[in-house]
Chain A
Amino acid sequence: MTLLIESLSWVLLVAGSLMLVVGAVGLHRLPEFFTRTHAGSLTDTGGAGLILTGLMLQAGPNLIAVKLALILLFLWFTSPTASHVLAQSALRDGIKPEAEDETS
């Protein structure tokens, strides 16, 4: 049983760190700002979710898992809000998404 939990948390941790690296690479490869918000928030919600659930499995059902769940819930609520505020103030500041310029 413990082997199952260990391997499951290992898989979650590796998947979460993979998601983090993919998000960070996305920050570089995506062409302009608004597409990069996707990469940025991808790491916040996806990577954090996988890594923190992996840690929760490690910790077992005690106070530590509750703290991890609190961090996870907080991140899942606030990082989309931060991305929204970011994109809105960028739009209001006059940065136009590329798609609107090209008429193709």
Chain B
Amino acid sequence: MFTTALVAILIAMSLALARALLGPTVYDRILAINAFGTKTVLFIAVLGFFNGRPEFLDIALVYALINFVGTVAVLRFMHYPAEIFQSDNDGGGS
């Protein structure tokens, strides 16, 4: 039962990676990496149940947190690249 879920998640992850490589605009890549991260969370959770070790869920929870923060951080960097590099003294704009 878990193997079907694991295989399906792996297929979805490879498709998301393919979209990340092919994606014309940079936002396609960010979207694909965000989807890939969420699938990794699910993969870790199902793997934890597959091996009978429920401690994996903590790793999955932390990964979900980091994935979200990473996506938003990249997007903010995408939007204010100039300000961050120019203003070295006051440590970056808004």
Contacts and interface: CB of A to CB of B under 8 A. Distances in A.
B27 A75 contact: no
A8 to B, nearest CB: 12
A13 B5 contact: yes
B38 A48 contact: yes
A27 B23 CA distance: 10
Contacts of A9: 1
B31 A37 contact: yes
Contacts of A25: 15
Interface in B55-72: 57-58, 60-61, 64-65, 68, 71-72
User: How many B residues are at the interface, by size bracket?
Assistant: 35 or more
A12 B82 CA distance: 47
A33 B42 contact: no
A55 B46 contact: yes
A71 B61 contact: yes
A98 B81 CA distance: 27
Nearest to A54: B5
Given A27-B16, A64-B57, A68-B57, A86 B31 contact: yes
A92 B79 CA distance: 8
B64 A74 contact: yes
Interface of B: 1-2, 4-5, 7-9, 11-13, 15-16, 18-19, 25, 27-28, 30-32, 34-35, 38-39, 41-42, 45-46, 49, 54, 57-58, 60-61, 64-65, 68, 71-72, 75, 78-79
Given A10-B1, A24-B13, A27-B35, 10 more contacts: A14-B4, A36-B19, A43-B35, A48-B38, A52-B45, A67-B61, A74-B61, A86-B34, A89-B79, A93-B79
